[in-house]
Structure 1
Amino acid sequence: MALDKVLAKKIGKDIGVSLFIYALPVVALFAYFAIKGQTPWVNNTHQPANVDVPAVFKFLEPALKNIRSWGFLVIALVLGAIEFALGLYDNKWTKSERKVDIVCFLAPKFLLPPVTAFFSLKLLPLILPGLANEFSWVPFWAGFFIIAVADDLTQYWYHRLHHQVPFLWRFHRTHHSAPYMGMAMASRQNFIYTVFFSQIYLTAALIYLGLGFPALVVTVIKSFITLSAHSSIAWDKPFYKYKALHPVAWVLERLISTPATHQSHHADTVGDGVGNYKGNFGNMFFLWDVIFKTGIITRKYPTTFGIKFYKQEEWYAQFLWPIFKSKVAGSELSANGPEVGDEVGPVLFDESDLYVSEQLKREAVA
Structure 2
Amino acid sequence: MKLSRELAAKISRDAFISLFIYALPVVLLLVYVHNGHTGIVQPTVPKAITGLHIHWIEAIFSNLTSWGLPAIMLLVGVAEFALGLYDKKWTKNERILDIVCFAGSRIAVRPAVVYFTLKLLPLLLPGLKNAFAWIPFWWAFFIIAIFDDLTQYWYHRLHHQVPFLWRFHRTHHSAPYMGMAMASRQNIIYTIFFSQIYLTAALTYLGLGYAALFVTGIKALITTAAHSSIAWDKPFYTYKPLRPLAWVLERLISTPATHQAHHADTTDDGVGYYKGNFGNMFFLWDIIFGTGIITRRYPTSFGTKHYKQEEWYVQFAWPLFKSKKPGSELSAQGPVVAEDKQPETAVLQPRENVPAALSA
Same fold (TM over 0.5): yes
Q: Distance in 1 between matches of 2:357 and 2:100?
A: 42
Shift of residue 6, structure 1, vs aligned partner: 1.2
Pair 1:139-2:133 in alignment: no
1:314 to 296, 301, 311: 311
For residues 316 and 10 of structure 1, do their structure 2 counterparts lie closer, same or farther at Cα, with a shift above 3 Å needed?
Answer: same
Q: What is the letter of the counterpart of residue 278 of structure 2?
A: F
- 1:335 corresponds in structure 2 to 332
- 2:48 corresponds in structure 1 to 54
Shift of residue 109, structure 1, vs aligned partner: 3.1
- Which 5+ residue runs of structure 1 have no aligned equivalent? none
Shift of residue 5, structure 1, vs aligned partner: 1.2
- 2:271 corresponds in structure 1 to 274
Q: Distance in 2 between matches of 1:210 and 1:304?
A: 45
TM-score by length of 2: 0.95
Shift of residue 50, structure 1, vs aligned partner: 4.2
Q: Is the 8 A contact 2:160 2:275 kept in 1?
A: yes
CA deviation map 1:290-339 (0-9, x unaligned): 00000000000000000000000000000000011111111000111100
Pair 1:169-2:169 in alignment: no
Shift of residue 119, structure 1, vs aligned partner: 1.5
Aligned pairs (5 A) from 1:1-16: 1-16=1-16
Q: Is the 8 A contact 1:53 1:140 kept in 2?
A: no
For residues 125 and 176 of structure 1, do their structure 2 counterparts lie closer, same or farther at Cα, with a shift above 3 Å needed?
Answer: same
Q: Is the 8 A contact 1:158 1:198 kept in 2?
A: yes
- 1:82 corresponds in structure 2 to 79
Shift of residue 106, structure 1, vs aligned partner: 1.1
Q: Is the 8 A contact 1:326 1:335 kept in 2?
A: yes
1:358 to 331, 356, 359: 356
Q: Distance in 1 between matches of 2:253 and 2:348?
A: 22
For residues 229 and 358 of structure 1, do their structure 2 counterparts lie closer, same or farther at Cα, with a shift above 3 Å needed?
Answer: same
Secondary structure (helix, strand or coil) at the match of 2:207 reads coil
Shift of residue 66, structure 1, vs aligned partner: 1.0
Deviates more, 1:316-325 or 1:23-32: 23-32
Secondary structure (helix, strand or coil) at the match of 2:151 reads helix
Q: What is the letter of the counterpart of residue 5 of structure 2?
A: K
- 1:344 corresponds in structure 2 to 343
Q: What is the letter of the counterpart of residue 97 of structure 1?
A: E
Q: Distance in 1 between matches of 2:175 and 2:38?
A: 54
| Count of aligned pairs between the two proteins | 353
2:116 to 110, 115, 118: 118
Q: Distance in 2 between matches of 1:36 and 1:359?
A: 45
Pair 1:256-2:256 in alignment: no
For residues 5 and 67 of structure 1, do their structure 2 counterparts lie closer, same or farther at Cα, with a shift above 3 Å needed?
Answer: same
Structure 1 ranges of 4+ moved more than 6 A:
none
For residues 360 and 340 of structure 1, do their structure 2 counterparts lie closer, same or farther at Cα, with a shift above 3 Å needed?
Answer: closer
- 2:23 corresponds in structure 1 to 23
Pair 1:210-2:204 in alignment: no
- 2:283 corresponds in structure 1 to 286
Q: Distance in 1 between matches of 2:59 and 2:357?
A: 47
Shift of residue 344, structure 1, vs aligned partner: 1.8
Percent of pairs identical after alignment? 65
Shift of residue 57, structure 1, vs aligned partner: 7.5
CA deviation map 1:85-130 (0-9, x unaligned): 1111011111111111111111223431223311211x21122111
Deviates more, 1:69-78 or 1:296-305: 69-78
Q: Distance in 1 between matches of 2:19 and 2:209?
A: 23
- 2:185 corresponds in structure 1 to 188
1:221 to 206, 218, 239: 218
Q: What is the letter of the counterpart of residue 351 of structure 1?
A: R
